Amino acid sequence: MLESATPVTPVTFPPAFLWGAATSAYQIEGAVREDGRTPSIWDTFSHTPGKTAGGETGDIAVDHYHRYRDDVALMAELGLGAYRFSVSWSRVQPTGRGPAVQRGLDFYRRLVDELLAAGIKPAVTLYHWDLPQELEDAGGWPERDTAYRFAEYAQIVGEALGDRVEQWITLNEPWCAAFLGYASGVHAPGRTDPAASLRAAHHLNLAHGLGTVALRSVMPARNSVAISLNTSVVRPLSQSPADLAAARRIDDLSGGIFHGPILHGAYPATLLEATASVTDWSHVQDGDLGVIRQPLDAVCLNYYTPTVVSAADADSRVPRADGHGASDHSPWPAADDVAFHQPPGERTEMGWSVDPTGLHELIMRYHREAPGLPLYISENGAAYDDKPGADGTVHDPERVAYLDGHLRAVRRAIADGADVRGYYLWSLMDNFEWAYGYEKRFGAVYVDYVSQQRTPKSSALWYGRAARTGTLPPVESAAE
């Protein structure tokens, strides 16, 4: 008689662990000209020839503005406990100044009410890259005034939703807003000015601090205020002094430039020294760092793939393989002497390597950087070439394996002492993937962009089972 195989110990999460999914306004809402909404920088950018794949825009996206009730019902059916969404600034405050448009706020009021009625906790992100175009016309994030306009906007939304929404995120991935928007130009507004990108980074930090103060002035004390950072997990190609210095340069530009002032009240000295050829940092005014370093209730982390760098070979001229789009302009100011490398192994449709160890490394870093603060994974996911089968179902075993591996990394970090309170899968459903248009599908729910029909993929059913039970299902069960 053959002995049965030793059963695998289930990977079980703490009972209060929050299982969610995330989206952003411009990627899903559509209805870009309804109820008083005016153009954001992404409306302008996506309508500029050559800026997005196929000239595609978020004009309709997945029509969430009109289909939100069905989308919330789908989340409830899957068993999600939380939903992170962003507010469209130009839907609420069309010029970026002055009073709110109540019709715009009413959409988010209805969405929050629908979520709460379904037993799903809403988490609001105030800024996910869609600056009102009028503010960009006035100079955008490189201008200091934009930070004060953000604080006014934060107060408006906080007053409208703060009685029912407990989780708040000021900014999503300010690195992308600053450096992809103002240095490499692959994101809106498409500018390519390294000095402006560093000013933008500081003013985004200032906006976070001012916005945090504004939110707390109008919301119940029980509410949590955080920021979502996409600090790179930077690994040197070798342990040579030159490669280690290259890794430090990129780490400062991706992480230290934000968590330095936000968590510690100072920019890294190595960052200031390395970028001295681009800016003298005179845009940092007296008192700014104190404003930026507001006490936080949590830190939110977004992770997709690690970054491998080395000192550049002066004799070689190879395309920059940093995973952040093709451009003749670098998103890394004063780092032209750094080379980026593709790690070996499996990759997603974005060309990003699949490496859950990087998520564990990132969590443990912030466990040290922000001792005592709860952590949330506010984005993690993968794009694959998903297609419906003959029976209409969508099987995505690669995404199931990706989620399983990364959730195991989260659980290992919890076991290692990190206070990780929740995980938001990116993304709830396929959507407008910025400059990639509709080519890249990150969703756990498949969207037919013509009919707008939603079809949960295998990964959505697998993740929903994990959310309902608090235990990772067998990967093989996703095919059932």
Per-residue pLDDT of the chain (480 residues; tens, 9 = 90+): 344 444 568 999 999 999 999 999 999 999 999 999 999 999 999 999 999 999 999 999 999 999 999 999 999 999 999 999 999 999 999 999 999 999 999 999 999 999 999 999 999 999 999 999 999 999 999 999 999 999 999 999 999 999 999 999 999 999 999 999 999 999 999 999 999 999 999 999 999 999 999 999 999 999 999 999 999 999 999 999 999 999 999 999 999 999 999 999 999 999 999 999 999 999 999 999 999 999 999 999 999 999 999 999 876 667 888 999 999 999 999 999 999 999 889 999 999 999 999 999 999 999 999 999 999 999 999 999 999 999 999 999 999 999 999 999 999 999 999 999 999 999 999 999 999 999 999 999 999 999 999 999 999 999 999 999 999 999 987 655
Q: Which two tokens stand for residue 337?
A: 């002497």
| Amino acid (one-letter) located at 118 | A
Among the listed residues 34, 173, 273, 369, the single catalytic one is 173
Q: Is 341 annotated as a binding residue?
A: no
The alpha-carbon radius of gyration of the chain (Å, integer) is 21
From 80, 84, 263, 68, select the one nearest 166 (Cα to Cα): 84
Taken in order of first residue, the domains within the chain and their CATH numbers are 12-472 (3.20.20.80)
Q: Is 77 a catalytic residue?
A: no
Among the listed residues 273, 379, 439, 480, the single catalytic one is 379
Q: Is 281 annotated as a binding residue?
A: no
Q: Is 89 annotated as a binding residue?
A: no
Pairing of strands 375-380, 445-447: unpaired
Q: Is 433 annotated as a binding residue?
A: yes
Q: Is 56 a catalytic residue?
A: no
Angle at 453 between CA 424 and CA 78, to 5 degrees: 35
Tell me the H-state helices in 100-221. Answer: 102-117, 133-137, 145-161, 174-175, 181-182, 194-218
Q: Is 205 annotated as a binding residue?
A: no
Query: Per this entry, what is the length of the chain?
Result: 480
Q: Is 453 annotated as a binding residue?
A: no
CB atoms within 10 A of CB 397: 16
